[in-house]
Amino acid sequence: MCGIIGATSSRSVGKILIKGLHLMEYRGYDSAGVALHQKDQIVRLRALGKVAELESLMIEHKPKAKSGIAHTRWATHGQPSKQNAHPHDSHEEIFIVHNGIIENHSELKKQLTDAGYTMKSETDSELIAHLIHFHKQTTQDSLKALMNATQDLRGAYAIAMIDASVKGSIFAARHKSPLLVGQGIEENFVASDPLSIINITEQFFLLEDDEFAHITKHDINIFDANGHSVDRKETVIDATATATSKGNYKHYMEKEIYEQPEAVANTIDGRLLEMDVADNIFGIDSSKAFADIKRIQFVACGTSLHAAKVARSWFERICETPCYVDFASEYRYRNPLVENNTLFVCISQSGETADTLAALEYAKQKEYLGTVTICNVPTSTMARESDWKIFTNAGPEIGVASTKAFTTQLAALLMLAVAIAKSQNKNTELRQQAVQDLRNTPALIQEAFELLEDINYITKNISEKENSLFLGRGMYFPIAQEGALKLKEISYIHAEAYPAGELKHGPLALVDEDIPVVAVAPEDSLVEKLLSNLEEVKARGGTLYVFGNNRSTIEIKKGKFINMPECGDFNAPIIYTIPLQILAYEVACLRGTDLDQPRNLAKSVTVE
């Protein structure tokens, strides 16, 4: 999704901005642009498509500037086009880049058009430049004009702005869309994603909602909504440059799949005791507060939602606690009834997903016992806004399709289930078993990588199809959903997941000799039932690809049985995810898709 970077320095900033845009490519975008303060005017270059196109334009035009702003756009209002790409300007004086959505754009556009402004793009963002220009006519002060303009805006925004008449300055505003300031030596930055400048600085000042910043190469000034100066503590974000490179892998997704043993090891590191989880791993006084939990409400989106659906079974079993799982995008629109002592848990890799964040904000106004965030980005808004939190410590996930974020979320969720049961003195043996399974998980993931050859036996067949079915039962149904999501998002093969018992209630009509049916069939209490559902597929000539263990009794004439490592009850869902990720990855490679940045998708979905 859209990315902002701005730099003001004693050296030339063109390369810094382009490099920053490259580092944000993983977020997904359709066009890119830059505005540079050169002499007394601002030069703007914009390109449709990849940042490399913009880079070629920079090489051609060779702009020289010591301050500027840049952006990657992911279209929400108006087609992907050069005209709609940011930065947008007003009278070639005010240039802005914007992440988010302006909800009252129609009304504001009308007011501005009536006041004589002409819109040159179809975006909601352009009006911000005109609005600032409009206010500047009365205040004559760039920062005040930005502050006044934001009072008219409804929706979400992170804005970086430069003004042709104030050389070397960048102004910024944040409301419900991430933005931070980075501090360098004789140079300072604004960015929506710390990864874009992580090679230059580790020192950041995080902006809160409704705060503003004015930066020059020497100074950083942060202001609250009333214009009062804010004394912000510095945050050090340590992400080494290697964490953001592909190393010897062809794609980030491949690298991230194979990083999972280490990623899960980092999630559990320092949080487990011999037979239990350590106290307060979710934050101060969490263990005490968890003693009162009677119910749990989960919200998340996409892959993170699948993690919640898997974990529900753990919470029901280990903590004997009823759980509700909602799509974050739906939760607050159904007027949820909150029973006493319900814990609200949101799960998010980025900690910035707009739907999940909005659900968290809504939940904070309700009578929940408290809020927990499980996420991978410690500086994220969700992490800051929750009462308790745990970071998955998976390292930066760049591939748009979540892999290590998912398995580390599962590890964190299992620790949450154990932590709650521990606070409530419940199920000591199950807790011990869960902790043991967590410890064994990294090695088992490593073992699952050895299935690559078996998986490649089936990838060619699947890569030639346009439709597929994924089946599972119980907690393996969300694992099947996750497998189907991975396949569809990176290979563009239509993949649907069903709880296998539902097959005969409709989807069986799709089964013929042509459709591959992937089944997740570990040995659990439902496996016999699953196997009889698979007989229904066999009877219709369907091709079956079954992931199970060597005690399975299924005989496959058409398709393949893949023998999984022997897993524990609690880590099996994590381990059974691995071959499904590899399957999707290998199929997408055969189909030659842009699998780190699949079409139409963005990494961090910061609009509703």
Of the pair 289, 605, the CB lying nearest ligand F6R is at 605
Is 527 or 605 the residue whose CB approaches ligand F6R more closely?
A: 605
* Least Cβ distance, residue 348 to ligand F6R (angstroms): 3
Cα distance between residue 532 and residue 130, in whole Å: 65
Cβ contacts of residue 241 below 8 Å, gap of 6+?
198, 199
| Cβ proximity of 99 and 74 under 8 Å | no
How many other C-beta atoms are found inside a 10 Å radius of the C-beta of residue 106?
10
| Minimum CB–partner distance for residue 495 and ligand F6R (Å) | 12
Rounded Cα gap, residues 447 and 290, in angstroms? 35
- With contact defined as beta carbons under 8 Å apart, do 180 and 206 qualify? yes
Which of 2, 319, 375, 567 is catalytic? The answer is 2
Instruction: Give 125's contacts (C-beta < 8 A, 6+ positions apart).
Output: 77, 86, 88, 96, 97, 98, 102
In terms of CB distance, is 266 or 349 closer to ligand F6R? 349
b/e per residue, 361-385, with b = 16+ CB within 10 A?
Answer: bbbeeeebbbbbbbbbbebbbbbeb
- Alpha-carbon distance of 231 to 244, in angstroms, equals 31
Select from 94, 72, 100, 76 the least CA-distant residue to 85. Answer: 72
Q: Shortest distance, CB of residue 236 to ligand F6R, whole angstroms?
A: 23
Asked whether the beta carbons of 5 and 24 are under 8 A apart, the reply is yes
- The 8 Å CB, 24+ separation contacts for 253-256 are 253/399, 253/400, 253/401, 253/403, 253/490, 253/585, 253/595, 253/596, 254/585, 255/399, 256/397, 256/398, 256/399, 256/403, 256/404
Q: 159 or 375, CB closer to ligand F6R?
A: 375
Q: 444: helix, coil or strand?
A: helix
Quote the CA–CA distance of 203 and 370 in Å, as a whole number.
31
Annotated catalytic residue 422:
no
Closest C-alpha to 25, from 45, 8, 49: 49
Closest to ligand F6R by CB, 121 vs 304, is: 304
Say if residue 103 is exposed, middle or buried (CB neighbours under 10 Å; 0-12, 13-18, 19+).
Answer: middle
DSSP reduced 3-state for 522:
coil
Determine the Cα–Cα distance for residues 354 and 399; give it in Å rounded to an integer.
Answer: 19
Nearest C-alpha neighbor of 87 from the set 142, 5, 169: 5
Complex with ligand F6R: residue 88 or 312, whichever CB lies closer = 312
Q: Output the smallest distance, CB 182 to ligand F6R, in A.
A: 22
- In angstroms, what CA-CA distances link 374 with 80, 140, 275, 413, 528? 34, 45, 22, 8, 34
Q: Which is nearer to ligand F6R, 359 or 527 (CB)?
A: 359
| Cβ at position 59, least distance to ligand F6R in Å | 34
CB neighbourhood size of 124 (10 A): 23
Asked whether 309 and 481 are in contact (CB, 8 A), the reply is yes
Least Cα distance to 257 among 471, 480, 483 occurs for 483
Say if CB 176 and CB 209 are below 8 A apart: yes
d(CA 173, CA 4): 12
Provide the minimum distance between the beta carbon of 307 and ligand F6R in the complex, in angstroms, as a whole number. Answer: 9
> What's the closest the beta carbon of residue 346 comes to ligand F6R, in angstroms?
8
Our answer to whether residue 323 is catalytic in this structure is no
Q: How far is the CB of 486 from ligand F6R (least distance, A)?
A: 6
Which residue of the chain is nearest ligand F6R when measured via CB? Answer: 302
- Enumerate binding residues for ligand F6R (CB under 6 A): 301-304, 348-350, 353, 356, 401-402, 485, 489, 604-605
460: phi then psi, degrees, rounded to nearest 5? -65, -45
Nearer to ligand F6R, 99 or 303 (CB): 303
* Integer Cα distance of 459 and 462 in angstroms: 5
Q: How far is the CB of 306 from ligand F6R (least distance, A)?
A: 8
Q: Which is nearer to ligand F6R, 441 or 604 (CB)?
A: 604
DSSP 22-72: HHTGGG--SEEEEEEEETTEEEEEEEES-HHHHHHHHHHH----SEEEEEE
| Distance in Å, CB of 309 to ligand F6R, minimum | 13
Task: Tell me whether residue 518 or residue 521 sits nearer to ligand F6R (CB atom).
Answer: 518
For ligand F6R, give the closer residue by CB, 286 or 304.
304
Dihedral, 313, 318, 322, 324 alpha carbons, nearest 10: -40
In whole angstroms, the minimum distance from the beta carbon of 139 to ligand F6R comes to 38
The catalytic site residues sit at 2, 603
